[in-house]
Amino acid sequence: MSDERTFVIVGASLAGAKAVETLRADGFTGRIILVGEETERPYERPPLSKGYLLGKDPRDKAYVHDVQWYSSNDVDLVLGVQATAIDPSAHTVTLDGVEPVHYDRLLLATGSRVRRLDVPGSDNLGIRYLRTITESDTLLRDLREGAQVLVVGAGWIGLEVTAAARTHGAAVTVVEVDTLPLRRVLGDEVAGVYAELHRAHDVDFRFSTGVQEFGGMGGRLTHAVLSDGSEVPADIAVVGVGIRPATELAESAGLDVSNGVITDAGLRTSDPDIFACGDVASSFNPLFRRHIRVEHWANALNGGKAAGKAMLGQDVSYDRVPYFYSDQYDHGMEYSGYVEPEGYDSVVFRGDPSIVDGKAPEFVAFWVDRDGRVLAGMNANVWDVNEPIQQLVRAGCAGEAVDPARLGDPDVPLQDLLPE
């Protein structure tokens, strides 16, 4: 018997594409409409500040599926079109303010939008943001030998762009309101490693200050004035001051929204026929026993798959340990777990995090609470340990403590620290 239902997915990026893939893989034969406001088919964003921006990887490598995949899987891919309204009682979603389209089930995979700087001169043409592949195309042309690049915000995007810019031979100044890069995510202990890593690549950090004004001539950027009164010359400025979840559709539809679209562990929103996943969703994570919104690639990948299953009525309990990765110069890392800013008591290092002769160190760091529970772990240039780190975080969530001395001892295999 044919399935007459229509499932609409808003947001044609990684989460949306993975949901669609799962719907077909799990046997859904009804109509699928995947709507995206960008004109590109779904692609992954991590390469935009790494392999692609470094000029190492081809553009094609970023796409989630090849171009034929959508027609071969009978997916109506509607690109360059924005979903502008949802009517939950009529079960319709309006595209580009025109015709309402009927849905039986709807998935919101609308992701995040960049926060923009609003200071005098911030409309200068030399100011860049990095969220889309087109923005990465532009930046790839900008990052050249001798260019003067100002990076505003020492978060993951800012630091990865910094590494790419230095690798291309551009001079980089990084402006950050905090006292260290990534301090809110990693804490002082590990954030210091990133400051040293970039300094070893001749990056000029300006901490505890922000951009007060951009200056230009003839439409071109020439400099920025910082809040400490200093002036930094710049041909381009790349702003990476965070993102916000794209909740506007959900809000106007009256769904529960609080720092993201609220869902239960089955990724269902406050409306039973509407689901949310990826960056935009604040989902109840049974492991942490609270709602968490995760702005990372693995959550889009796994959350998209889980949402596809949930839309089909399968029993889903989305309890992944949050995971992300970053690559900067010769330093690669994976981080697993969830710690609020300053929400830990100590950091236990396994290996030496110092930078010697400019070479990225090899170490594992664990964020631990006062009871010895592992809250998160990060392996830097140490590989094949992510699985036991995730298991240690799961054990920590279940209340299991570890001995910090053994945790920090590289001679004790991580597996030996796991509960029986």
Handedness of CA 70, 8, 5, 309 (dihedral sign): positive
Choice between 81 and 412, CB closer to ligand FAD: 81
Sole binder of ligand FAD in the list 6, 73, 82, 317 (CB under 6 A)? 82
Shortest gap between Cβ of 139 and ligand FAD (angstroms)?
Answer: 9
By beta-carbon proximity to ligand FAD, the closer residue of 51 and 372 is: 51
CA distance 46 to 326: 8
Identity of the residue, 104 or 135, whose beta carbon is nearer to ligand FAD in the bound complex: 135
Q: Could you give the string, one character per residue 7-46, with x where binding to ligand FAD holds by CB under 6 A and - elsewhere?
A: ---xxxxxxx------------------xxxx------xx
Taking CB under 6 A as the criterion, which residues in 164-203 touch ligand FAD? none
What residue spans of 42-92 are helical by DSSP H? 67-72
Q: Minimum distance from CB of 167 to ligand FAD (Å)? A: 16
Place of tokens 């077909």: 24
Q: Kindly write out the interface string for residues 222-261 of this chain, putting x where it contacts ligand FAD by CB under 6 A and - elsewhere.
A: ------------------------x--x------------
Closer to ligand FAD by Cβ: residue 325 or 363: 325
Residue 67: CB minimum distance to ligand FAD, A:
17
Contact letters for ligand FAD, residues 319-358 (x by CB under 6 A): -----xxx--------------------------------
Sequence-distant (≥ 6) Cβ neighbours of residue 344 within 8 angstroms: 187, 367, 368, 369, 375, 376
- Ramachandran bin of 258, using left for φ above 0, alpha for ψ from -120 to 50, beta for the remaining angles: beta
Neighbours of 315 (CB within 10 A): 7
Q: Which of 202, 207, 241, 209 is nearest to 225 (CA)?
A: 209
> In this complex, which beta carbon is closest to ligand FAD, that of residue 133 or of residue 355?
133
Closest CB 135 distance from ligand FAD, rounded Å: 8
Min dist CB 283 to ligand FAD, Å, is: 12
Q: Read off φ and ψ for residue 159, nearest 5 degrees.
A: -75, -35
Nearer to ligand FAD, 121 or 247 (CB): 247
Residue 418 has phi, psi (to 5 degrees) of -80, 145
Cα dihedral 355, 360, 364, 368 sign: positive
Q: Which of residues 381-420 bind ligand FAD (CB under 6 A)?
A: none
- Our CB check for ligand FAD shows the closer of 333 and 402 to be 333
For tokens 């027609």, the residue is 71
60 DSSP assignment: G
Question: Residues 361 to 380: which contact ligand FAD by CB under 6 A?
Answer: none
CA-to-CA separations, 38 to 14, 111, 237, 245, 400, in angstroms, rounded: 13, 12, 24, 16, 45
Q: How far apart are CA 213 and CA 207, in angstroms?
A: 17
- Please, which residue, 71 or 252, has the CB nearer to ligand FAD? 252
In DSSP notation, 178-225 reads SSSTTHHHHHHHHHHHHHHHHHTTT-EEEES--EEEEEEETTEEEEEE
Task: Give, in order, the Cα–Cα distances in Å from 347 to each of 35, 151, 350, 363, 374.
Answer: 44, 29, 10, 12, 10
CB of 107 to ligand FAD, least distance (A): 11
- Cβ atoms 322, 294 nearer than 8 A: yes
Residues 6+ apart with CB under 8 A from 56: none
Which of 131, 201, 244, 291 is the binder for ligand FAD (CB under 6 A)? 131
Tokens standing for residue 354: 């110092």
Q: Which of 57, 234, 71, 26 is nearest to 136 (CA)?
A: 57
Would you say 298 or 418 has its CB closer to ligand FAD?
A: 298
Provide, rounded to whole angstroms, the least separation between the CB of residue 334 and ligand FAD. Answer: 9
Closer of 77 and 226 to ligand FAD (Cβ): 77
54 binds ligand FAD (CB under 6 A): no
Pairing of β 243-245 and β 236-239: unpaired
Among 19, 32, 48, 414, binds ligand FAD (CB under 6 A): 48
Instruction: Find the binder of ligand FAD among 153, 155, 260, 278 (CB under 6 A).
Output: 278
Considering the complex, what minimum distance in angstroms separates the CB of residue 271 from ligand FAD? 16
Residue whose CB is less far from ligand FAD, 43 or 205: 43
* Contacting ligand FAD within 83-122 (CB under 6 A): 83, 109-112
User: Where do contacts with ligand FAD occur on this chain (CB under 6 A)?
Assistant: 10-16, 35-38, 45-46, 48-49, 82-83, 109-112, 130-131, 157, 246, 249, 278-279, 295-298, 300, 324-326
